[in-house]
Structure 1
Amino acid sequence: MKKRELRRQPKEKKGQKHHYIPQFYLRPWLGDDNRLEEFGRVPPSNQIRSRRRGTESTGYEYDLYTIPGVTEETKQNIERVFMGTVDKTAAAARDELLRGNIPQGELRHAWARFLMSMAMRTPEEMRRFKENFVWYWIKPVAKYQDRYDAIRKPDWPPTLEEYFVSQDPHMVQRQAIVLATDLMQQENVTRHLMGAEWWVFDSSRVQRPFMTSDHPFVMTNGLKRPDGHFAIPIGPRHLFVAFMQKDFGEWFRRMPTGKIVRATNEAVIGQGRKYVYGIDGANIAEVRRLMGKREYMTLLPTMTKKEGDEAKAHISKEIWDAWL
């Protein structure tokens, strides 16, 4: 009887899936079975293996962008509203790129914003930014601490930051995720990406297809250098690449097709942390050799103390002014 009762208990809800690798982005790699090849580490040995997966079943984490401490109706707004808009408009831009058309106007802006998000929205980057933000949040900003000291009651905690946490334990995490999404659409960075020379490379002349991963956005360490460029595979036969200087773009276009495909795959496989993707499992030896071996560029900043104080003061000024 007890066993039957246990079986009837509903499964614990895991939360909402948040796809940090958007489903639309992976669809060009789908085969006739409507699946793509997913490479990843399988416990307990952590050996890299591959399997066929649908886009719904990979590249996600539960509640990655959930806003804590808000209403049930609004806690998924970043995933539903912000990420939904980013991905929907980027899908239209990507379709134009696959047709050989370079987007202009709103679609160009949408694609640049999408590329920024792909460099920031992964679980690793979100965790790193939140930890960095929280560390600086607990460091007092002198002018606000002085005001707090002047009005603090005997039963209040010694620091303003501790007081905020006592009043709203979700405040810091909430502010961190909101700030991260603001950074994903910074206009000065977006304009910089939009101002590059955009190009779509077709690799149909060689047999080897492009692969991709959970960190597919490739960027030089500094876009202002002579060879400054950024790229992302947009299908097994297409690579989006943009150049900051015309001379380097002309040189890049003269490279052998096979060399471009090989170098791109080495980059996206090396940057892969949890997942690498392809059209089939033929490249598993290469994935095992390269996966996780290359550092990826981030666009989420690591704050200095000064930047942390300024960000905290800017974000919280209205709240602090209202409470104090």
Structure 2
Amino acid sequence: MKHHYIPQFYLRPWLGPDHRLEEFGRVPPSNQIRSRRRGTNSTGYEEDLYIIPDTTAETQHNVEKIFMGVVDASAAKARDQLLTGVMPTGELRVAWARFLLSLMMRTPDQIAEFKRRISDYWFNPDTELLARYEEAKQKGWPATLEEYLKGSDKKVPERIAVMLATDMMQRENLLRLLMGAIWRVLDTRNKIRPFMTSDRPLVMTNGLMRDDGHFGLPIGPHHLFVGFMKQSFADDFCSKPAGRLVRLTNEAAIGQARKNVYALDATYIADVRKFMSKRDIMQLLPTEAK
């Protein structure tokens, strides 16, 4: 099954009269960046990305069909309000914040990293976990935790990782932080240059609790959603020339892209070739100690 880490609803505002958008990406063997017209169902996905291994055919895609389905369906309603200048409240505000968190965690590289870390922790337990096993061990159990884990289902860590990833996408403290921000939508329909987006579209400062802490997401070719931590910085940010904000947002979205950039058309392919993948990505998973 196609598991869309960039939801189709999110990309639809960039569709043209042909019901396609411009997709930029590297083409092997030269890896030169080129573009082509694509439908939303044909991009932003990886097959079986969130599959739950060793479960029934009816349940193995539940994360994509049920969890992500709910995340995206409710976020689509919130996004539609934002496009009309209405700030979501209540459950839709929660839904939009949850969607923003999901964009940071649901990508192929983050899911793979989550699986790697859980597997490493599972099969290489630290001294604390070993001691806890000794305390809990009952008659008939393997002598050591290592023996127990060696005899366990090798797919258990992968199943745990997929389910914990969904928990990360709805952590209450992070949701409250995003929901409590000052939300704005910038409308740039009077500007020639449109917003572009990518497979890593959420832009965020390195630390949200700074005076200039903010996060942003292009939600259409002429609309930018931004959340601010401080009112003074929100006012200063929104007073800047719209053309400059479009340019800087596009450079950030393109710079964070790892596989694809999206736009209305191929006009700014030179920008994609200049900036693509040149920027670090903000991640929910903390950096491991060396």
TM-score by length of 2: 0.94
Q: SS of the counterpart of 1:95?
A: helix
In the TM superposition, residue 299 of structure 1 has moved relative to its aligned partner by 1.6
Secondary structure in 1 matching 2:151: helix
2:183 is the counterpart of 1:201: no
Q: Distance in 2 between matches of 1:293 and 1:287?
A: 10
| Selected match of 2:72 from 64, 68, 87 | 87
Distance in structure 1 (CA, Å) of the matches to 2:78 and 2:245: 23
Q: Are the equivalent residues in 2 in contact too, given 1:213–1:268 (CA < 8 A)?
A: yes
1:63 alignment counterpart: 48
Tell me, yes or no, if the aligned pair for 1:210 and 1:233 is still in contact at 8 Å. Answer: yes
The reply on whether 1:239 has 2:224 as its aligned counterpart is yes
Contact persistence 2:186–2:225 (CA under 8 A): yes
Deviation at 1:152, TM superposition (A): 6.1
Partner of residue 146, structure 1: 134
Whether 1:53 and 2:38 are equivalent positions in the alignment is yes
Equivalent AA in structure 2 for residue 139 of structure 1: P
The alignment's C-alpha RMSD in Å is 1.8
Structure-2 residue corresponding to 1:3? none
**Identity, % of aligned positions:** 59
> Are the equivalent residues in 1 in contact too, given 2:130–2:145 (CA < 8 A)?
no
Write the letter of the residue equivalent to 1:115: L
Cα drift, residue 165 of structure 1: 4.8
SS at match of 1:52: strand
Gaps of 5+ in 1: 1-15, 306-324
* Cα distance in 2, alignment partners of residues 94 and 130 from structure 1: 31
**CA shift for structure 1 position 147:** 4.8
Q: Tell me the distance in 2 between the aligned counterparts of 1:102 and 1:166.
A: 52
Report the Cα offset of residue 172 of structure 1: 0.8
The answer as to 2:160 corresponding to 1:175 is: yes
Q: Equivalences for 1:1-324 in 2 at 5 Å?
A: 16-137=1-122, 138-140=124-126, 141-147=129-135, 151=139, 159-302=144-287
CA positional deviation for 1:143: 2.7
Shift of 1:204: 1.3
Amino acid at match of 1:123: P
CA–CA distance in structure 1, aligned partners of residues 263 and 113 of structure 2: 28
Structure 2: give runs of 5+ residues left out of the alignment.
Answer: none
Q: CA deviation at 1:290?
A: 0.5
* Misfit runs of 4+, over 4 Å: 147-153, 302-305
What's the secondary structure of 1:205's corresponding residue? Answer: coil
How many Å separate the matches in 2 of 1:228 and 1:238? 20
Output the CA distance in 1 between the equivalents of 2:138 and 2:288: 29
Q: 1:164 to 1:69 in 2, by over 3 A?
A: farther
Going from structure 1 to structure 2, the CA distance change for 1:303 and 1:85 (only over 3 Å counts) comes to farther
How far apart in 1 are the matches of 2:40 and 2:144?
A: 47
- Return the offset for 1:58: 0.2
Deviations 1:140-177 (A, max 9, x none): 41234325777467xx6x74255345232211110111
Structure 1 or 2, whichever has the larger Rg, is 1
Q: How many residues align?
A: 287
Secondary structure, counterpart of 1:80 in structure 2: helix
CA distance in 1, matches of 2:49, 2:117: 17
CA distance in 2, matches of 1:172, 1:161: 14
CA contact (8 A) 1:211 1:236 kept: yes
Residue 76 to residue 302, structure 1, CA distance change in 2 (3 Å):
farther
CA distance in 2, matches of 1:204, 1:218: 21
Query: How far apart are 1:129 and its partner, in Å?
Result: 1.6
Residues 18 and 60 of structure 1 are in contact (CA less than 8 Å); yes or no, is this contact kept in structure 2? yes
Question: Does structure 2 conserve the Cα–Cα contact (< 8 Å) formed by 1:132 and 1:302?
Answer: no
Q: Partners in 2 of 1:161 and 1:102 — Cα distance? A: 52
Cα deviation for residue 206 of structure 1 reads 1.1
| TM-score (normalizing by structure 1) | 0.85
CA deviations 1:33-88 (Å, max 9, x no partner) are 00000000111111110000000000000000000122221111100110000000
